[in-house]
């Protein structure tokens, strides 16, 4: 049974308040589909019953609902062209600028970890001499981050974008799943962060991937998120967005750099601390 208009409105407002993710008025079907499994896990007879409990303000359930309605779509080397840009132009430029001494990268909407681990695999395969590269993966959902930290993926997940050569080299089969080697997992730190809120103290980054997340925010939130991210990016560093995303009003701070079939954005010197 489809959720009522009142329940749909309540959930949409809750999700926007907690995460700044905007769900359209036509998303009642999505709310029903995403919350039905949660209702069953909680021993409730329907999504309507779940929402009634949610209205009482139970924090743990609220967080689970937000997690369920966040889009966690990801795969290894997603869209490929940005990773080609990283390999061929962006990372070489970063290393040339700092004498090959440092490489720090942030996957800012990491979901279950495939993007962050793709960065680690890229470094291992093509830049093995970089001393102590650091890779951060962050997400709103602690549940998906726990899955990311485990580094254990289904056959379907490793079939999406991961070259067979890397599967054989860096994964071991555990039953019907594939376990990523510790040497790759140890390169990535995962951290829960809400991009719609002020960021905690963070190390500065040479490269930030903020891909396919801004499209879920209203324009003022997009600008606010970008403004916070800029504070973490080193002058001269690179920002990679999704193919339909732009720097939303901060264009004067960035220089678009065409890297093959991908567009990267380089932060102008002096634009960030």
pLDDT band, residue 33 (cuts 50/70/90):
confident
For the chain, percent of residues with pLDDT exceeding 90: 59
pLDDT of residue 273: 44
* 16 pLDDT higher than 70: yes
**Per-residue pLDDT reduced to its tens digit, 100-109:** 999 999 999 9
CATH architecture for segment(s) 81-267:
3-Layer(aba) Sandwich (3.40)
pLDDT band, residue 271 (cuts 50/70/90):
low
Q: Cβ of 213: how many Cβ atoms within 10 Å?
A: 22
**Per-residue pLDDT reduced to its tens digit, 163-220:** 999 999 999 999 999 999 999 999 999 999 999 899 999 999 999 999 998 988 888 8
* Closest C-alpha to 62, from 10, 102, 24, 100: 10
pLDDT of residue 270: 58
Q: Cβ of 149: how many Cβ atoms within 10 Å?
A: 15
pLDDT band, residue 27 (cuts 50/70/90):
confident
**Per-residue pLDDT reduced to its tens digit, 35-72:** 888 888 888 888 888 888 888 877 778 888 887 777 67
Residues of the chain with CATH 3.40.50.150: 81-267
* 73 pLDDT higher than 80: no
For the chain, percent of residues with pLDDT exceeding 70: 97
pLDDT top residue among 22 and 148: 148
pLDDT of residue 1: 52
pLDDT top residue among 66 and 118: 118
pLDDT of residue 87: 97
Between CA 81 and CA 263 the distance in angstroms is: 9
pLDDT band, residue 235 (cuts 50/70/90):
very high
pLDDT of residue 12: 87
* 160 pLDDT higher than 50: yes
pLDDT top residue among 250 and 15: 15
To the nearest whole number, what is the mean pLDDT of the chain?
90
pLDDT of residue 198: 92
* Closest C-alpha to 193, from 148, 256, 234: 148
């Amino acid at each position: 049974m489809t959720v009522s208009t009142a329940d749909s409105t309540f959930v949409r407002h809750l999700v926007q308040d907690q995460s700044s993710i905007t769900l359209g008025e036509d998303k009642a079907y999505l709310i029903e589909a995403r919350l039905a499994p949660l209702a069953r896990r909680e021993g409730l007879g329907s999504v309507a019953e779940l929402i009634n409990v949610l209205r009482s303000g139970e924090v743990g359930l609220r967080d689970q609902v937000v997690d369920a309605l966040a889009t966690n779509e990801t795969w290894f080397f997603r869209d490929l062209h940005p990773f080609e840009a990283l390999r061929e132009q962006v990372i070489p430029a970063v290393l040339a600028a700092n004498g090959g001494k440092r490489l720090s990268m942030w996957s800012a909407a990491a979901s279950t970890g495939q993007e962050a681990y793709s960065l680690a695999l890229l470094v291992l395969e093509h830049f093995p001499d970089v001393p102590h590269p650091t890779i951060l993966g962050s997400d709103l959902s602690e549940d998906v981050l726990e899955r990311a930290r485990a580094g254990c993926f289904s056959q379907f997940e490793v079939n999406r974008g991961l070259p067979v050569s890397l599967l054989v080299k860096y994964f071991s089969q555990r039953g019907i799943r594939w376990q990523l080697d510790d040497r790759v997992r140890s390169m990535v730190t995962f951290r829960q962060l809400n991009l719609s809120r002020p960021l905690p103290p963070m190390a500065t980054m040479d490269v930030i991937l903020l891909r396919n997340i801004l499209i879920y925010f209203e324009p003022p939130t997009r600008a606010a998120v970008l403004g916070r991210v800029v504070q973490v990016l080193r002058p001269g560093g690179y920002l990679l967005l999704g193919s339909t995303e732009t720097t939303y009003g901060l264009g004067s701070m960035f220089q678009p750099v065409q890297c093959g079939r991908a567009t990267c954005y380089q932060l102008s010197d002096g634009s960030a601390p």
